[in-house]
Amino acid sequence: MACSSIVPTFPANNAIPPPFLFIGTGGLAGWLNQNPSYKSSFVNTGYFPTLIPSQFITSSLVSSNYSYENVPLCSEVTQLSQGQARLYNQQLALFHKVYTFNSNAYVTAQCTGIPPMYYTFRDYQELNNYRSAAQVANKLAPFQVMAQASTSWTAPFPVLF
């Protein structure tokens, strides 16, 4: 069996979300605004209150041509000072590094059958910095919500919070 058939490519069901979702203040909301056909997958998660489940869509919304694809979504992060932006970018760079390493380890393990070797933090400070970074990333791309979405995206490797 080819490796590509073992691990589906994003944004397929059970795919691993790539780290680009965590770069910039747009996060998942920004990605969904750029790929509106996936917004309907998040209707029943309750995370985006402007995506109204179909059982609550009133006749006035129907008459105004309400469509999930046309609803703009807002990111959790909207404005940052210069210092906040620098720290934010450092945190996201660390999260990106660990997430990419773990994602590659997982995919390689699926392809080779050898158990994955996940990222090892060089010291306690790096681990704490990563925990902070993971909290920022979770605001931008909430893993729990992404797991509940009908798309079933997964992160089958350690993502500490």
Does residue 99 form part of some domain?
Answer: yes
CB under 8 Å to 46, separation ≥6 — which residues? none
Please identify which residue in the block is written with the tokens 């909301």: 29
pTM for the predicted model, two decimal places: 0.78
Maximum separation of any 2 CA atoms in the chain, in Å: 58
Domain total of the chain: 1
| Residues making up the chain, counted from first to last | 161
Q: For 94-118, how does the pLDDT look when each residue is reduced to its tens digit (9 = 90+)?
A: 998 998 899 889 888 988 999 999 9
Does residue 8 form part of some domain?
Answer: no
Does residue 126 form part of some domain?
Answer: yes
The pLDDT of residue 2 is above 70: no
Q: Are 129 and 91 spatial neighbours (Cβ–Cβ below 8 Å)?
A: yes
CB atoms within 10 A of CB 58: 10
Does residue 159 form part of some domain?
Answer: no
Domain that holds residue 43: 13-148
Q: For 122-135, how does the pLDDT look when each residue is reduced to its tens digit (9 = 90+)?
A: 999 999 999 999 88
Cα separation, 101 vs 80, in Å, equals 28
Measured torsion, CA atoms of residues 128, 107, 96, 120, in degrees rounded to the nearest 10: 30
Does residue 36 form part of some domain?
Answer: yes
Does residue 161 form part of some domain?
Answer: no
72 backbone φψ class: left, alpha, beta (φ>0; ψ -120 to 50): beta
